[in-house]
């Protein structure tokens, strides 16, 4: 509900009704709505971190890792309202601080590790400034939450996220990496065609 409508417009009554419990039961577990939002954010970020680690462990190479991340982000951002991030920042400071910590520590470290891996594998250019690019990618991953850049009625968040990540990937790729990106993209396109054919 928070992902679809934002946190401000959803009441504790709405949540209790959706869960089929009383509001009293809900308040037995959470002090208030901000406490609930903080717990939801904590769980959501933990799941994302687990999936990022799984993407690294289950990938053949650094490029494949990022394509698994793209798939995961598309699932997470499907039907997400960009107003969520503004609501967090304005009304739920602890949850927003938790997200900022996730972005500035986990995301930056994970991006840097992927860049280091790609350089070792010869898939990314060896002349990259890893610190700058890690910080840039972490920041640019949030562009889709800025309605002044990408208004909700004109852009699909999942597409924006995919396009930005692919743009970043092409920018850091070596010639060998560039060719591998094209192979992964063709594989995804053919898999989608097979799904649509069924």
Contacts of 122 by beta carbon, 8 Å cutoff, 6+ apart: 174, 176, 177
More confident residue, 8 or 124: 124
**Cα–Cα distance, 137 to 113 (Å, whole number):** 13
Q: What is the mean pLDDT of the chain?
A: 88
pLDDT at residue 188 tops 80: no
Helices (H), 30-174: 33-57, 62-77, 83-91, 93-101, 108-120, 130-140, 157-172
- What is the per-residue pLDDT for 194? 36
**Of the listed ranges 8-17, 93-102, 136-145, 173-182, the one predicted with least confidence:** 136-145
Q: What would the two tokens of residue 2 be? A: 């928070």
The least confident of 54-68, 96-110, 151-165 is 151-165
Average pLDDT over residues 69-93: 84
At 197 the pLDDT is 33
pLDDT value for 176: 96
H-helix or E-strand containing 146? none
**Mean of pLDDT values over 102-112:** 96
Average pLDDT over residues 29-48: 94
- Asked if pLDDT for residue 131 goes beyond 90, the answer is yes
Q: Six-digit token pair at 19?
A: 């869960």
Q: What is the DSSP letter of 145?
A: G
User: Tell me: the pLDDT tens digits for 139-166?
Assistant: 988 887 777 777 777 777 788 888 888 8
How do residues 6-16 score in pLDDT, each as one tens digit?
899 999 999 99
Q: From CA 198, how far away is CA 196, in angstroms rounded?
A: 5
pLDDT surpasses 90 at 193: no
Please tell me the distance from the alpha carbon of residue 171 to that of residue 166, in angstroms, as a whole number.
Answer: 8
């Amino acid at each position: 509900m928070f992902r679809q409508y934002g946190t401000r417009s959803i009441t504790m009554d709405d949540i209790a009704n959706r869960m089929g419990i009383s509001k009293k039961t809900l308040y037995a577990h959470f002090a208030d709505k901000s406490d609930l939002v903080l717990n939801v954010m904590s769980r959501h970020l933990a799941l994302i971190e687990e999936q990022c680690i799984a993407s690294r462990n289950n990938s053949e190479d650094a490029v494949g890792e990022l394509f698994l991340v793209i798939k995961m982000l598309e699932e997470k951002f499907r039907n997400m309202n960009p107003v969520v991030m503004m609501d967090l920042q304005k009304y739920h400071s602890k949850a927003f601080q938790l997200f900022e910590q996730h972005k500035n520590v986990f995301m930056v470290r994970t991006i840097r590790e992927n860049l280091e891996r790609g350089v070792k594998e010869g898939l990314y250019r060896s002349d990259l400034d890893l610190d700058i690019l890690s910080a840039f990618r972490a920041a640019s991953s949030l562009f889709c939450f800025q309605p002044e850049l990408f208004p909700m009625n004109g852009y699909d968040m999942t597409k924006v996220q995919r396009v930005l990540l692919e743009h970043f990937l092409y920018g850091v790729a070596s010639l060998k990496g560039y060719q591998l990106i094209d192979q992964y993209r063709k594989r995804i396109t053919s898999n989608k065609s097979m799904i649509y054919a069924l």
